[in-house]
Structure 1
Amino acid sequence: MRKLSIVGDQFIWEGRPYRLLSGAVHYFRIVPEYWRDRLLKLKACGLNTVETYIPWNLHEPEEGRFYFEGNADIEAFVRLAGELGLHVILRPSPYICAEWEFGGLPAWLLADDNMRLRCDYEPYLSKVDAYFDELLPRLRPLLSTSGGPVLALQIENEYGSYGSDKAYLNHLKNAMIARGMDVLLFTSDGPEDHMLQGGMIDRVFATVNFGSRAKEAFAKLREYQPTGPLICMEFWNGWFDRWMKPHQTRPAAEVAETLDEMLALGASVNFYMFHGGTNFGFMNGANLFDEYEPLVNSYDYDTLLGESGKPTEKFYAVRKTIEKYVELPPLELPPSIEARAYGNVQMSESAPLFAQLDALSTPVRRACPEPMEKLGQAYGFILYSTRISGPRSEMELVLQEVRDRALIFVDGVFFGTVERWDPQGIPLSVPAEGLQLDILVENMGRVNYGPQLRDPKGITSGVRLGYQFLHDWIIRTLPLSDLRDLIFSTENFVDQLQPAFYRGNFQVDDPADTFLRLDGWSKGQVFINGFNLGRYWEKGPTQTMYVPAPLLHQGNNELIVFELHGTRKAVVTFVDKPDLG
C-alpha cells in the first residue's frame, strides 16, 4: 500500500525520505481549461505537490443538491494532477477560510437561527456528515492507498484561531476514517500557544502556517509536537486585496529568503498561494474585526503566478532557491497564453432594474424585513419595499443591521446610500399622501474568518423611522442567477441614477485572455455570455477584471453590466494588461 508515512523527523514515501514541495492552486478559482497550464507551471517551478481546499458551498449550493461539474469537478482536477506526475494534498474540511465566501460554509446553514457553527452541535454535525457522505466516497479512489495521487487530508482549517472544541475535531477525524480516508490526516494552525492548543488533537499530525520567522514558528510547533517532520502548510508569500484599501505586495527577495530559511532546516513547504486565480461571481469573502472589509474580485495574491497565470518575479526567485536543495531539470514552461486588447464595446441597450422585477423574482410579503437566508437566497441582491403613511415630520430613517450596502429610493428616486461600515441614518420627512420606500441591499461577501463568522445578509433586524419600526414589506430576492428573461431596449436609455442592466455585443475572431476596464462606471456586476464574471467598484484598488479566453466565443459575444449608480458613458474597454491598483 502506497502511503506517506512519518518516521522520526522525516516523511517517508516508497521507502525513502521525502520532502513535500507544494503549492496551493484552487481549482474553483480557475476555469477548467487552464488547470493543466497552472499545474505544469507549478511542476516547472520545482514543486512536486499541489494543494487545494474543497469549498462545501460550491459543492452543495442548496441542501441536498450536490454539484461536481465544470470548475467544481474536483475529481477531474486531482486525476489531472496525478497524470502530470504531481502528488496532491486535499483540504476537505467543512470550513476552509481561503478568503472565500463564508469560509466555504453554505449560506443555507444560516436559515436556522439556532445553528452553531464549527462545534460539537448535532444539527451542524448532521449537515457535515451528509456532505461527507457525498464528497468522501468521490475522494477515496483518488487516495494514494487506492493508487491515486492524494497523500494527505486536512480535518479542519486553522481551528485554533476560532475555537477549542476537541469533541468536534475528533468527530471530523472519525468521520473521515469511517469513510475510508486512510491517508495521513493533519491539522494546520498559526504558531501561537492558544492556536496550537485549540487546533491540535491526539494522533493527528500538526502543521503550522506563517509568512516569516520560520525558526521561531517551528520552535513553537516543537513545544507541542516534539517529533515529526517540519512543514509550513501555508507559507504566506503574498496577500489578498480588499476594496478601498491599497493593493498588497511583498518583495520576491523577502519570499526567497524565508523559503531558504525553511529549506535549510530540512522542512517541507506549501506555498499559499502558488496561483491565486479569481473570485468569480459573488464568491469573495470578507474580514470583520474593527470593521467589515469585503475582498475584491481578483485573488491575484501577489504570488508566483499572476491572476492570469503569468509567472512573476517570485516564480523565478523561488525556483532559484529550490535549486540550492533539489536538482531540477532545465526550466520548461507550457506555451504562453496570449492576451489581447479587443478595444471599446458600446453598451447599446438597457433594462432598468425596477421595470424588470417580475422577470427576475417572485415577491413575498412579510411583516418585517427578513435576511436572504430565510428566503432561500445565498448571494446577490435583495429588495425591500413598503409604503409609509403621512404626514410625518422629519425623522431619521435607520436601517438596523444592514448587510452590507443599501441603496434607498423614495417614490422611485434615489435618496441615499447606507453602508455596513458607515451605518448612518438619513433624515426623511413624509408628505400627507405618504411615500413608497424601496431598499436595494447588496451582499458583498460573508465573513470568512474570525469570531464574526455568522453573517446573514440583507436587513437582519429592521427598518425604523425615528424609533418606530416599519412593517408590511414586499421582498424580492435578486440572486441574478438567470438574466434570460430581461427585456432590453435601445429607446429611453435609463436614468443615470437608477440601477440598470446594460447590454452590448462584440465580435471576437480568435478568443484570447483579456482584461475589462469600466472607466466611468461606479459599481456593479459583469456577465459575459451568461457567466457571472464578478464585481467591480470604482473605489478599487483593482481597475480591471480578468476575462479568461474560454469564456469568450469565436464570433458574437454578449456582455451585460449591472450598474448600481449609473455611468457617465455606456462604453467599456477590453485591454491586454491587468491593473491591480
Structure 2
Amino acid sequence: MSEFTIGETDFLLDGRAHQVISGAMHYFRVHPEQWADRIRKARLMGLNTIETYVAWNAHSPRRGEFSTEGGLDLARFLELVAAEGMHAIVRPGPYICAEWDNGGLPAWLLRDPEVRPRSSEPRYLEAVTEYLQQVYAIVAPLQIDRGGPVVLVQIENEYGAYGSDKDYLAHLVQVTRDAGITVPLTTIDQPTPEMLSDGSLPGLHLTASFGSRTAERFATLREHQPTGPLMCAEFWNGWFDSWGTHHHTNTVEQTAADLDAILSVGGSVNFYMFHGGTNFGLTSGANDKGMYQPIVTSYDYDAPLDEAGHPTAKYFAFRDVIAKYAPVPAEVPDAAADAPAFEVPLQRVAALFDVVAASGSPLGTTSAHGDLPTFDDLQHDSGLALFTTTLPDGAAGAGILGFEEVRDRAWVFLDGSPVGVLARDSHENAIALPRTGGQLSILVEDQGRVNYGQRIGEPKGLIGGARLDGAPVLDWSVTAIELDAVPGVAADASGAAPGTDAAGPVIARGEFTLDAETDGLFLDTAGWGKGLVWVNGFLLGRYWRRGPQRTLFVPGPVVHSGVNEIVVLELEVLAEARAAFLAGPELGHTEV
C-alpha cells in the first residue's frame, strides 16, 4: 500500500516529492489485445503514469446498462497499468469532450427536454449519480492506498469553459467521496482567470490545459492556487483532424522545448495524447462553432506513439527530455515494420435500398409516421435512416423541397434516381426536385454528435419537418438502419451474381488471405467515395474521399492468418471495386 497526497509544492508519494509524468491513452480507442503493448511503450518513453477518460455513452448505450465487456473492461486496463509498474489517472467526466460522440454523454440522456446537461438539474444529477457510482465501483478498489495504480481522479472536464454551477460540481464531489474515492481530486481548465474560477471548488486541486507559453500559463494557475504542485494535465503535443481540413502536425523541436519548459520548473505533465488510437465504429464526434465539422476516424493526434502503436520522432525527442529529469529505461521499442501491402477485388453484392425494402429485412423494421421524425424520435442513436414518402402530384414542373435543418447529410432520390445531396457543413437545407410527384426517398447520415459547446445533445436527422413548395410533406415510412447487420447481409448475398452498379448506396464484399498474423493493416480508401468498412465483422469506421484521412487502421487482433472478410457500405460512388492495403498510414496533407 502507498499514499499519494498533495503537498505544499509537490505531489507526495509516501511523503516524498513526486513529479507525475503521464500520458493519455483511452482504452476505448485501442483494441484491448493491444493495451499492454501501448502501456509498456509508455513506460519505455519514461512515463510513470497513464491517464484515461471514461466514455459514459460507450458503457451505457441504454439507461440501466453498464457494459464492461471486451474493449470496455476498465478494470483490466487499470490492472495492466499496474502490472507495468505505473500509476493511473482516471477522468470519468461525466462529460469528456475528447472529440468523442456527444462528448461522452449518452444520447438517451438528452432526449428528455427537461434535462439540462452539466448542471444541477435533478434529472441530470440522478442519471449522473447512477453512472459515477458504477465507475467508482471499479475504480475505488484500484486506488493506490488499496494496492492499485490510481493516484488522481478528475471532477468534470474543463467545466469553466461551459458553466459555473457550483452546486453541480459539489454534487459530483459528494458522489465521488461517498463512493469511496480517497485519492486527491482535480479539475482541469484552460488557464484563464474566468475559467479557473468557474470550473473549480475549494478542496479540488486545479490543473491546466495548454500546449505552449508555459511560464505564462503556470503563472496564471499559481495566481488562483498559491500552493500545491503545478500540473499541465493536458499538454497538447498534437491535435485532431476534421473531414475536409488537413492533417494537423506540429514540430518535434517546438513540442520538445515546451515539454522541457514544464518539467524544468518541477511541473507535472500529462501528454494529450501519448497514444490517440482510433474512433472505431461511429464514435467520432464533431465541432460546431458556426460551421459543423465532423471528426475523422483516425485519432492519431500526431502523438508520440502513432495510431498503429509505433514510436515516432516525437517519442524519442520526448524521451530525451524526460531523461533530464527522471529515470528512463535503457530499452527502446522496435521500429515500425512495413505492413503487408496487397490488393483484392470486391464484389458488389446488394443495393442498400433493395435490402431495406425486402420483407423481414435484417437492416431494420419500417415504421409509419405522419410527421417526419428525427433520429431521436426513433430512439436511433447514430448511423443511417431511410425516409420514404409518395408525392401525390404528378406534375412535370419542378418543386423546392426544404427542411429547417439537415443533420448531417442527406441523399435525395426521386423514383430511385439520385437528385442531389444536402450537407450540413455547407448549410444546405433545400433542393430542387425535377417534378413534384413520385416516390421520394431520403437517406440521412448522422456524421457525429457535437462534442463541445452549447449544441451538445441536439437532435439528429431532418429537423422541423419537410415542405414542398411551402406545403408540409406528410405520411412517411422510416427505417432506422441496423448497421451491425450489414456484414451478415453481405455474406448471405455473396453467392449472387456480381452487381455492376457502382452508384451507392451499395454493399460490396471481398476476401483476402494472410500468411501470418500482423500488428495491423492500412486499408486504402482513395478509390471510394464515402461510407463504412467492416473487417471480419469489426466496424473500422467511416471513410470519405474529402480527406484528409486516406487509410483506415485495421488492428492486428481483428485479422488472422488464413481467409479474412472485408465488407464495404458505399454511400456515393464505388469508383474502384477493389480493396488495397498499403505498407503504412496515409493521414493526408498537412498544409492548406
Q: Which TM-score band applies after superposition, normalised by the shorter structure? A: over 0.9
Q: Which residue of 1 aligns with 2:368?
A: 365
Q: SS in structure 1 opposite 2:42?
A: helix
Quick one: distance in 1 between partners of 2:349 and 2:113?
A: 39
Q: Which residue of 1 aligns with 2:567?
A: 560
Deviation, 1:28, is: 0.7
Quick one: distance in 2 between partners of 1:168 and 1:15?
A: 33
Q: Which residue of 1 aligns with 2:457?
A: 454
Q: SS in structure 1 opposite 2:38?
A: helix
Kindly indicate whether residue 546 of structure 2 is the aligned counterpart of residue 542 of structure 1: no
> For the structure 1 residues 116 and 479, does the alpha-carbon distance in structure 2 shift closer, same or farther, using more than 3 Å as the test?
farther
Alignment of 1:168-187 (within 5 A): 168-187=168-187
1:268-294: CA deviation from partner (whole Å, max 9, x where unpaired): 000000010000000011111020000
User: % of aligned pairs identical?
Assistant: 43
Deviation, 1:349, is: 4.0
Deviation, 1:455, is: 2.6
1:442 pairs, out of 431, 440, 445, with 445
Contact 1:378 1:479 in 2 (8 A): no
Deviation, 1:415, is: 0.9
Q: SS in structure 2 opposite 1:197?
A: helix
2:504 pairs, out of 498, 507, 516, with 498
Quick one: distance in 1 between partners of 2:423 and 2:573?
A: 18
Contact 2:362 2:482 in 1 (8 A): no
Q: SS in structure 2 opposite 1:482?
A: helix
Kindly indicate whether residue 320 of structure 2 is the aligned counterpart of residue 309 of structure 1: no
Contact 2:27 2:35 in 1 (8 A): yes
Q: Which residue of 1 aligns with 2:478?
A: 475
Q: Which residue of 2 aligns with 1:343?
A: 342
Q: Which residue of 1 aligns with 2:377?
A: 374
Name the aligned partner's letter for residue 145 of structure 2.
Answer: T
Deviation, 1:201, is: 0.8
Deviation, 1:348, is: 2.2
1:140-168: CA deviation from partner (whole Å, max 9, x where unpaired): 11111221100010110000111111111
Deviation, 1:132, is: 2.0
Q: Which residue of 2 aligns with 1:269?
A: 269
1:186-206: CA deviation from partner (whole Å, max 9, x where unpaired): 100001122112101111111
Q: SS in structure 2 opposite 1:221?
A: helix
Of stretches 169-178 and 486-495 in structure 1, the one that deviates more from structure 2 is 486-495
Structure 2: which 5+ residue stretches go unaligned? none
Deviation, 1:70, is: 1.0
Alignment of 1:49-448 (within 5 A): 49-333=49-333, 335=334, 338-357=337-356, 358-392=361-395, 393-422=397-426, 423-430=428-435, 434-448=437-451
> Please, what TM-score do these two structures have when normalized by structure 2?
0.95
Name the aligned partner's letter for residue 516 of structure 2.
Answer: D
Deviation, 1:131, is: 1.4
Q: SS in structure 2 opposite 1:383?
A: strand
Contact 2:404 2:429 in 1 (8 A): no
- The size of the alignment, in residue pairs, is 578
Quick one: distance in 2 between partners of 1:336 and 1:479?
A: 40
Name the aligned partner's letter for residue 75 of structure 1.
Answer: A
Name the aligned partner's letter for residue 573 of structure 2.
Answer: G
Quick one: distance in 1 between partners of 2:283 and 2:2?
A: 36
1:537-559: CA deviation from partner (whole Å, max 9, x where unpaired): 01100111111111002211111
Deviation, 1:95, is: 0.6
Q: SS in structure 2 opposite 1:356?
A: helix
Q: SS in structure 2 opposite 1:375?
A: coil
> For the structure 1 residues 506 and 492, does the alpha-carbon distance in structure 2 shift closer, same or farther, using more than 3 Å as the test?
closer
Contact 1:45 1:331 in 2 (8 A): no
Of stretches 320-329 and 556-565 in structure 1, the one that deviates more from structure 2 is 320-329
Quick one: distance in 1 between partners of 2:17 and 2:489?
A: 60
Structure 1: which 5+ residue stretches go unaligned? none
Q: Which residue of 2 aligns with 1:46?
A: 46
Quick one: distance in 2 between partners of 1:391 and 1:419?
A: 27
Contact 1:154 1:187 in 2 (8 A): yes
Q: SS in structure 2 opposite 1:278?
A: coil
Quick one: distance in 2 between partners of 1:440 and 1:110?
A: 24
Deviation, 1:328, is: 2.6
Q: SS in structure 2 opposite 1:318?
A: helix
Deviation, 1:429, is: 4.5
CA RMSD of aligned residues (A): 1.5
Q: SS in structure 1 opposite 2:77?
A: helix
Of stretches 109-118 and 479-488 in structure 1, the one that deviates more from structure 2 is 479-488
Name the aligned partner's letter for residue 425 of structure 2.
Answer: W
Question: Which runs of structure 1 show a deviation greater than 3 angstroms over 4 or more consecutive aligned residues?
Answer: 335-339
> Please, what TM-score do these two structures have when normalized by structure 1?
0.97
Of stretches 238-247 and 359-368 in structure 1, the one that deviates more from structure 2 is 359-368
